[in-house]
A = this chain, B = another copy of it.
Amino acid sequence: MAIGDIVLGANQYGKAECRLVRVDRDSPVHRITDLTVTAQLRGDFTACHTDGDNSQVVATDTQKNTLYAFAREHGVRTPEHFLMTYGAHFVEGFDWVSGGRWEAETSTWDRISVDGAPHDHSFVRRGQETRTTVVQKDGDATWIVSGLKDCVVLKSTGSEFHGFPRDRYTTLAEVDDRVMATSVTAWWRYAPQTQAELEELDFDALHDGIRAELLAAFADLHSLALQQTLFAMGRRVLERYGVVAEVRLSCPNKHHFLVDLEPFGLDNPGEVFYAADRPYGLIQATITREGQAEVPQAWATVPAFA
């Protein structure tokens, strides 16, 4: 085409937010898996965009059907394994599909306790925290970025903030003891870049272990800035999990303002706080390993910095 002609650039499409609940009934002690899956194919879909020619458009409805069928045929060992198997079906099965992006949000269920014993087939949702997984494929390469979101944490002491520059517009007081709270969105990239290598990983154990390290780092650090806490969280994961290549964290500073009770003749020694909604500080950082190659394809469309 001529320079300046209007053309199709990057594009992708698929079925979003398929709610899939799988019950493993191999024994009377059922196990449930609860995923919300978003599928996106990439490849040669130009004719559809320019001419409405659907001959290469695997219908989003077909993508959805395949998802449910694969849950029956292959089970869901972990979200990561399941998405790799599911995604490979399209990349291998359709010539013009060169890659894609498959995301899952996993909800966790605990067993209901009855008279102190866990029930066989009754469950209660653990909470709003969600385990996240993005598998991306391009030809022979596969990348996995897993994470968690809506993990709300708070320290009631062990946090300071001072020493920042003061200019004409600065009014914030320095504090040497404050409440620090955030809702952690974390993403970590697994180092292997082929499906064969990635399939060897024990993603459930990795998720639980990494989550525990993130929380422990949040708790352990006497923090001088939320940035310092993020770096400590990421560093701790990288130190203890060699299979993790880099970590991204996006953390709102959920401000808890000490209420000024002086007008009412009262002191307030770090006891009564007003938790604000908006605005909020927003801190986002990548913690990575010196000298390793950047892998932008793994992070494309991962909303870590939005």
- Given A24-B271, A170-B65, A290-B6, answer yes or no on A124-B153 (Cβ-Cβ < 8 Å): yes
Q: Is the CB of B9 within 8 A of A168?
A: no
Kindly state whether residue A206 has any CB partner on chain B within 8 Å.
no
Within 8 A of B (CB), among A128-170: 128-129, 151-158, 161-165, 167-170
Q: What are 12 A-B residue pairs whose CB atoms fall within 8 Å in the complex?
A: A3-B292, A5-B289, A9-B285, A11-B285, A16-B279, A21-B179, A40-B282, A49-B228, A58-B167, A114-B215, A125-B153, A126-B127
Q: How many copies of this kind of chain does the complex include?
A: 4
A172, B59: Cβ atoms under 8 Å? yes
B49 touches A230 (CB 8 A): yes
Task: Let me know if A235 is at the binding interface, CB within 8 A.
Answer: yes
Instruction: Indicate whether A199 reaches chain B with its CB closer than 8 angstroms.
Output: no
Does A188 make an interface contact (CB < 8 A)?
no
Which A257-306 residues have C-beta < 8 A from chain B?
A: 259, 261, 263-292, 300-303, 305-306
B25 pairs with A286, CB closer than 8 A: no
Contacts of A53 in B (CB 8 A): 163, 224
| Contact-residue bracket for chain A | 35 or more
Give every chain B residue within 8 A of A18 (Cβ-Cβ): 274, 278-279
Given contacts A157-B25, A215-B124, A231-B50, contact A60 B281 (CB under 8 A): yes
Contact residues of A with B, CB < 8 Å?
Answer: 1-25, 30, 32, 34, 38, 40, 45, 48-62, 64-66, 68-69, 71-73, 93-94, 109, 112-115, 119, 121-129, 151-158, 161-165, 167-172, 179, 212, 215-216, 218-220, 223-225, 227-228, 230-231, 234-235, 238-239, 246, 252-253, 256, 259, 261, 263-292, 300-303, 305-306
A263 to chain B, nearest CB (A): 5
In the complex, A152→B154 CA distance in Å? Answer: 24
Question: Given A273-B20, A273-B23, are A15 and B266 neighbors across the interface (CB < 8 Å)?
Answer: no
Cα A100 to Cα B61 in complex, Å, equals: 37
Q: Which residue of B lies closest to A237 (CB)?
A: B6
- In angstroms, Cα B282 to Cα A289, docked, is 35
Contact across chains for B280 and A66 when beta carbons are under 8 A apart: no
Across the interface, which residues of B come within 8 angstroms of A11, CB to CB?
Answer: 227, 284-286
In the bound complex, how far is the Cα of B65 from the Cα of A232, in angstroms?
A: 29
